[in-house]
Amino acid sequence: MANQAAIVVGGGVIGMATACALAGRGVDVTVLERYTLGHEWASSHGLSRAIRHAYGSRAIYTRMVTRSLALWDDLARETGRHLYTETGVLSLGKAEDGETLSGYEVMRDENVLVERLPSEEVRARFPQFVVTDEDVIVYTPQGGMLHASECLLALRDRLSAHGGVLREGVQVTRVEPTGAQGEQGRVTVSDGSTLTADRVIVTAGPWVHDVLPDLRLPVRATRQQIIYFDGLPAEQFGVGVFPVFLAGIGEGGFYGFPLQGPGWLKVASHVIGPTSDPNEPYPPDEREIEAVQAFMRRRLPSAADAPLAFADRCRYDMTPDEDFILDDHPAGRGVVIGSGFSGHGFKFGVLIGELLAALALDKPPAFPLDRFRLRRFQEASDAAGG
Ligand SMILES: Cc1cc2nc3c(=O)[nH]c(=O)nc-3n(C[C@H](O)[C@H](O)[C@H](O)COP(=O)(O)OP(=O)(O)OC[C@H]3O[C@@H](n4cnc5c(N)ncnc54)[C@H](O)[C@@H]3O)c2cc1C
């Protein structure tokens, strides 16, 4: 594939990983990023993102997590950067939530190290949590947190080692297939100039409609928030004693991480926020901060009075079924789309990069892509009589 040229639009974790995968296969790659790598409004920013095997009955994601852990490990060794801290992952659910028990069974079938813990054992091992005898509690010693900003720097290192280029401060206004059968891609930039390449890969996160306005992908940008708390003791909430956790699965859910960065505990609600224009800033949502604090009073009472350090905000790019979009543009193979990461894409970053590169280069992907194709939305609409 030497001498092929590709342009990647958007330098978040997905775009950078895709560019690395293409450059590693000898493609001449340029990433066009509107702002800077890891800027604060991109989804791929900040101290951490969770990586966990628990995915309910969706076994493909559990398998993809196992592969992703190995790929992040390769990247860490190659770049000498610390990308991942294994904290273990504790899931607190209910028998009827439709996720926790099926997730446990899938993980067991997929040979992931996993235990179901009785509540008395959780009280002894993780006394920070209030648990009841009705809770279904699952623990995986593997999984934990990816250091998000550091992961982006590692991808930048890899890209440059393979001769790829990251151009920051370049705003793309349009992407479309071009050529006789749409077999190439054309990019229009905000100064009016155009660029063409054998393949253009769109990985613009919540801004996908800015560059593919005619396609009307079923993706909406939602406002999300992460709350950091200060002043908690490392003996109770530090790495080694406090795991990444998921709680209230099936009821929206909360999740959290041990102390990180300046010594902050991170807790957030996974409730899907309101749809909003990704180009408009928004203030912290006080009601959501209160919901997180109420959750902490119920489940983590010894942390509930910790002072608020910071409310970080960014967006999910949600699809209706929360599955990703990894597909060719319907009008031609010159444009490939990676979108709709629905609040759970970071952990798969390097792997998705491999999958999008395989699509772009017409190579067999490492995982089947049927679940991620655009035609599913048409099929769902047909089935609904729409
Ligand atoms: C609050 C929150 C918590 C999350 N927690 C987790 C978690 O614990 N685990 C997990 O796996 N995932 C998590 N996610 C999801 C994960 O962060 C995202 O799925 C992932 O980062 C998506 O990356 P991306 O590259 O698609 O998008 P982004 O990181 O948003 O990157 C898109 C890039 O495209 C650029 N761009 C946009 N428009 C243009 C244009 N016109 N021209 C040029 N460049 C453009 C943007 O500037 C941006 O840098 C979370 C997300 C949020 C918001």
Answer yes or no: are the C-beta atoms of 197 and 344 closer than 8 Å.
no
pLDDT at 251: 67
Do 194 and 333 sit in the same domain of this protein?
yes
Kindly give the residue spans of alpha helices, DSSP state H, lying in 163-271.
208-211, 234-237
pLDDT at 192: 97
The finding on whether 207 has its CB within 6 A of some atom of ligand 1 is yes
- Find the mean pLDDT for residues 7-31: 98
Tokens of 105: 């069974």
Position 2 confidence tier, pLDDT thresholds 50, 70, 90: very low
The finding on whether 50 has its CB within 6 A of some atom of ligand 1 is yes
Query: CA 262, CA 230: separation in Å to the nearest integer?
Result: 8
Which of 166, 149, 160 has the alpha carbon at shortest distance from 78?
A: 160
Query: CA 320, CA 223: separation in Å to the nearest integer?
Result: 16
Max CA distance (Å), the chain: 67
Do 252 and 308 sit in the same domain of this protein?
yes
Strands 172-178, 84-86: pairing is: unpaired
Position 380 confidence tier, pLDDT thresholds 50, 70, 90: confident
Position 17 confidence tier, pLDDT thresholds 50, 70, 90: very high
Summary mean pLDDT of the chain: 96
Answer yes or no: are the C-beta atoms of 316 and 222 closer than 8 Å.
yes
Grouping H, G, I as helix, E, B as strand and the rest as coil, residue 292 is: helix
The finding on whether 92 has its CB within 6 A of some atom of ligand 1 is no
Do 230 and 171 sit in the same domain of this protein?
no
Is the pLDDT score of 1 beyond 80?
no
Q: CATH number of the domain that 89 lies in? A: 3.30.9.10
C-alpha of residue 368 to centroid of ligand 1, in Å = 23
C-alpha of residue 236 to centroid of ligand 1, in Å = 31
pLDDT at 385: 76
* Phi, psi for 298 (deg, rounded to 5): -75, -45
Last residue of a domain, one of 316, 342, 368: 316
Do 228 and 268 sit in the same domain of this protein?
yes
Do 259 and 273 sit in the same domain of this protein?
yes
The finding on whether 9 has its CB within 6 A of some atom of ligand 1 is yes
Q: State which residues form the domain around 253.
A: 83-145+220-316
The finding on whether 316 has its CB within 6 A of some atom of ligand 1 is yes
How many domains would you assign to the chain? 2
- Find the mean pLDDT for residues 78-92: 98
The finding on whether 222 has its CB within 6 A of some atom of ligand 1 is no
C-alpha of residue 173 to centroid of ligand 1, in Å = 18
Tell me, yes or no, whether 91 lies in a domain. yes
C-alpha of residue 43 to centroid of ligand 1, in Å = 3
Which of 16, 49, 193, 351 to mutate for ligand 1's pocket (most ligand atoms within 8 Å of CB)?
49
Do 204 and 237 sit in the same domain of this protein?
no
Is the pLDDT score of 3 beyond 80?
no
DSSP summary character for residue 245:
E
Do 96 and 120 sit in the same domain of this protein?
yes
Least confident of 1-15, 205-219, 356-370: 1-15
Tell me, yes or no, whether 200 lies in a domain. yes
The finding on whether 349 has its CB within 6 A of some atom of ligand 1 is no
- Find the mean pLDDT for residues 257-277: 96
Residue with CA nearest ligand 1 atom 16 = 346
pLDDT at 109: 98
Last residue of a domain, one of 300, 316, 332: 316
